Amino acid sequence: MLVFQIETCLYCAVLTASCCFASNYFTFLKIPAIVFMCVYAVFWMLVVHIIVMLSVFSLRSRPTAGVFMDSVVADVSQGFAVVASILWVSLLSGMYLHLPYITATPGGESSASAVALAVVLGFFVVVPFLALISTYMAVPDGATNSLLINGSTLGAASLLFLVFVSFGSTGFTRCYLFGGGANNSLFIFLVVIYWGLLFGVEIADEFWDPLELWGGAQAVEGTVQAPRGFLAKVQSLNVSVRISYCRIVGCLLDIMIVATSIAFSNSDIHGTTGLFILFITLVHIPLVVMLEFATPEKSTPVAVVLPKAEPFTPPGSKPGGSASGSRIPNMHAFPFNAAASSGINSRVTPTLPRQRRGLSTESDLFY
């Protein structure tokens, strides 16, 4: 993991320096503002990420033999991987959404910057790739991690959507409608407040166990009016339905953040805003209503060693010798040839059907 962190730092430094050098000396490339918004954000976020990682490794016990005992390192790395991936998606979506103020250079159009955007997009994809590898390397053995079905991912995507749309659709700090100092201060205040609320929701979800409604030993009676047949089926399937009220609050907060971008954008982007609100709502469903299926414990087969059977010794005979006229009948495989077995009484054999005696019903031959 240390090697991948060093590679990420070197790659981000080279990518940032190359973009700055090209913008100053290769003006024909026409690098748009969205590139520097993403590259600078990743660079400074990586600096903070490395400082936090060094603090984690210094204050906590080190992993033994390269195996992480808890998921603290994975949780710290996950934040950088999530935001780096969202910024890469923002670069990609900027080529298709109508965001002229950040996807075009001064005096030009967005199409003139498509080549530079495509080049940076191709080189930038390595950063979230290395971050994802580092994150999943830090996941403990037997644990799981999800980057998409995650409340912090959706919150970060909603907040970045607000920022990119506000700066790219109307040129928030340059547009005549929002160019005043009061509007700029209000926008910065909203972004800071939204970030604090998102952080508070994640803290509450981490330390407040969601209410368990159905299944388990403490099912809420009288609060949930559900048919008895349904509850019986749920309990027979060993399914525990858990509803997280923190994630409901997080869903409403994300919708509010995305909806705020309507006030700071042109009408041609409002359709995309509605689709993003629908996407946020649908992805929150598995976070709000969680189904936990009880799986039976794994049973380990135990080999039972039976004592070795002693040879049959009739009474009055010596051990190891054979008794005349007394022996265990020879057990033949199916079909059983009764006539060939000397252990069956000769007085009983003639009374059995032909099939039981081992005789064919068509001829007198044995099987």
Write out the H or E segment, with its range, that includes residue 211: strand 211-214
The length of the chain, given as a count of residues: 367
Q: How would residue 108 be classed by pLDDT, with cut points 50, 70 and 90?
A: confident
Residue with the larger pLDDT of the pair 128 and 345: 128
Q: Is 351 exposed, middle or buried (CB count within 10 Å of its CB: 0-12, 13-18, 19+)?
A: exposed
In terms of Cα–Cα distance, which of 152, 162, 157, 154 is closest to 191?
Answer: 162
In terms of Cα–Cα distance, which of 147, 77, 51 is closest to 68?
Answer: 77
Residue with the larger pLDDT of the pair 97 and 181: 97
How many CB atoms sit inside 10 A of residue 205's CB?
19
Mean pLDDT for the chain overall: 75
Q: Return the structure tokens found at 209.
A: 């166990």
Nearest 10 degrees: Cα torsion 247, 252, 257, 259:
150
Residue with the larger pLDDT of the pair 130 and 207: 130
For the ranges 22-36, 103-117, 219-233, the lowest mean pLDDT is seen at 219-233
Asked if residue 226 has pLDDT above 60, the reply is no
Note the pLDDT of residue 124: 93
Residue with the larger pLDDT of the pair 273 and 209: 273
Note the pLDDT of residue 323: 47
In terms of Cα–Cα distance, which of 149, 157, 292 is closest to 215?
Answer: 292
Q: How would residue 196 be classed by pLDDT, with cut points 50, 70 and 90?
A: very high
The model scores a pTM over 0.75: no
Q: How would residue 156 be classed by pLDDT, with cut points 50, 70 and 90?
A: very high
Quote the CA–CA distance of 277 and 327 in Å, as a whole number.
86
Q: Which residue shows structure tokens 């057990």?
A: 331
Beta pairing class for 289-293 and 239-243: antiparallel
Long-range contacts of 41-44 (CB under 8 A, 24+ apart): 41/83, 41/87, 42/12, 42/83, 42/84, 42/87, 42/127, 43/12, 43/13, 43/16
Note the pLDDT of residue 213: 43
Note the pLDDT of residue 180: 63
* Separation in Å, CA 228 to CA 211, 214, 216, 225, 234: 20, 12, 15, 9, 10
290 within 8 A of 146, measured Cβ to Cβ: no
Q: How would residue 348 be classed by pLDDT, with cut points 50, 70 and 90?
A: low
Residue-wise DSSP of 79-133: HHHHHHHHHHHHHHHHTTS--HHHHS-TTS-GGGGHHHHHHHHHHHTHHHHHHHH
